[in-house]
Structure 1
Amino acid sequence: MGNLKPLVIGELVVPKPIIQGGMGVGISLSSLAGSVAKAGGMGIISTAQIGFREPDFADHSLEANLRAIGKEFKKARDISPEGVIGFNIMVATKSYALYVKEAVKAGADIIISGAGLPASLPAYLAEAAAEMGAAGEKVKTKIAPIVSSVKSAMVILKMWDRKFHRVPDMVVVEGPLAGGHLGFSRESLETLGVDTADVEHTYDQAAYDEEVRGIIRLVGEYAEKYQTEIPVVTAGGIYSHEDVMHQMELGADGVQVATRFVTTEECDAPDEFKQAYLNTSKENIVITKSPVGMPGRAINNAFLSGVGQTPFKLEHCYQCLEKCDKKTIPYCITKALVNSAEGNTDEGLVFCGSNAFRAERIETVDEVMRDLMGE
């Protein structure tokens, strides 16, 4: 296992410093998260439209999603009674506070939050703690913001320090090679010198490595101020043991890996979704504009090629994202992601990381964990 030490977050100990990244809609649910936790990593369930299989999802999306949070967590906990299991909750989610509170009440070990800066996350955690405290229950949930630059890390650390007199329990740094919605605007990618039409040749690994070192230094200053340890975990484009070791050499305490876990037997995605990864090529992975304006990385397919070719009329709103303008969106992102999660990938959005083309076969979670650890 080389120099890979357990990831320690307060009293939480993750034996293998591998976090499985949250993937919505329906890609990282109880089966994947529970299996990764059982294998010694940290399993993460995505709350993005988590209740899409609930019978009342179309008419009562919020209620269906909140109900599914507890159900999925319980199923994951049944798979791994002792492992570390948490949730990824997007700040951009409509009714974000309710999702946070529901995850805390379900018993989440940790909440990882990005797609926007989780400025009020500590307040929602405190509210959940107060509600549970009245019932005699104790909150153990840790909170971790996702940042993508020294600037965004500074904003969140300063704000939590000033407003809540606390620091994050862990910080996740997500780079430009990540999958799904990226923590960068097109403009900030360009500032880093990344051309969204040609990421492969314009992404400067050395420059971003320096950004990561800067974030680690900054987090260290706040850890010192609060006389505590704040582990920093890096994410985006991590696929092999060599990738893991590179991040550790930068000073990371752990890594977050998502794409590599999609092509596992235990992943909650349907076979058609996994097959899309196995079939894709490097050239077929593109950065597309999501209906909410954020860039996102996905596999170019019949659906993406057809976007904008015909006028789009929204038939039903699933109340998913806070900043969705129903009048101007080119497609409904919930419908596109649910289609893929149900196996209809030709009519759906298939989010992926930059290394999806490297998948050659369906593996088990144990195999992936062993490979990442260099065992």
Structure 2
Amino acid sequence: MDLDFTEEQKQLTQSLRRMLGDKCGADVVRRMEGDEKGYPDDLWREVAEMGLPGLTISEQYGGLGLGALEQVIAFEELGRALAPVPLFVSSVLAAGLLERAGSEAQKGEWLPAIASGEAVLSIAWLEPGNSFSEKGVQMSAGATGDGYRLNGKKFMVQFAAAADRLIVLVRSGPNPTDIDLVMVDPKAKGITLKRHKTMVGDAQFEVAFDNVEVPAADRLGAAGEGWAHWHHVLRTGMIALAAWGIGCGEGAMTLGTDYAKEREQFGVPIGSFQAIAHPFADAATLLAGARMITLEAAWAKDTGRPHTRLATMAWLEACDASRTATKVSQNAFGGIGFTRDIDIQLYFRRARQHELSWGNPDALNEEVGTEVLSELA
């Protein structure tokens, strides 16, 4: 496994860090809390001009056609800056589903628009009171003469008010995997959006469907194959999620360690005390381990090796590392670290929500454990 970054990859890191430092300070992150759209247009334009929405989209559809390692670089920097942009849902999940399951017409219409940043797509997956598994998809998709009629609710739908289309997971039959993927205009008749109040104030919505008509031409892939496509794309996407979490943890550590070196008690910096220094050492160790397995997962994907289990493991490790790093860094500030005036709480809240948004850790551990035990049997 060769994890030495090329000169181009190093330049991507430097360019991204510089741009985000200029365009995405803590003031921007704070301003987007409670914003209906959820991301600033000027930041999204900068992100698009750097080619990030099309980073891993095939060149034939207007993307850059780069690999998972470049994706890790990008998302680590986005996490470090807490950048409020719809890159994951649109360019990783939605584009991934279109490339994997979409028809040529669907790919030709939507992938170039996603790659340029002109279109934003999001995912409507989770339902109130239901699980992260395929059994949690219960929203009805009754058959009509030439399509579906949708009834039910989805929640935790990111950037729904700004999205050009939602890719919706719907139940089309009684078997656990009778799930289809359909593309729906969030402004269509019968759809109502209700903003959630989340711990980070981001743009998440409950989306209610009341007899929403969807033509069969807007289904992605064959009938009954939706969950298989979704499961693969989400698991692969956990490489990007892990990188974001690592960046978030590293950003928090920068704030925390800088403060520990500046703040003095008894005439010396508080970072000289073991009670402060040792937790930082533990957090740094966790971040380094999570980063290594994330890079390994990216390398495996780029070289055509099995990678979904590594990606899941990377996300689980990154969640643990990010949670620990943000907590340790916040604790270094003492009581003021929990106030809204101090930037470290921006990291702490986002690390926790990041961990809760894309999967049940217990279920994912069970999935990985089952695979490991089957190999050892």
TM-score above 0.5? no
* Greater helix share, structure number: 2
Q: TM-score, normalised by structure 2?
A: 0.30
Q: Relative contact order (C-alpha < 8 Å, sep 6+): which is higher?
A: 1
Structure exhibiting the larger radius of gyration computed from Cα positions: 2
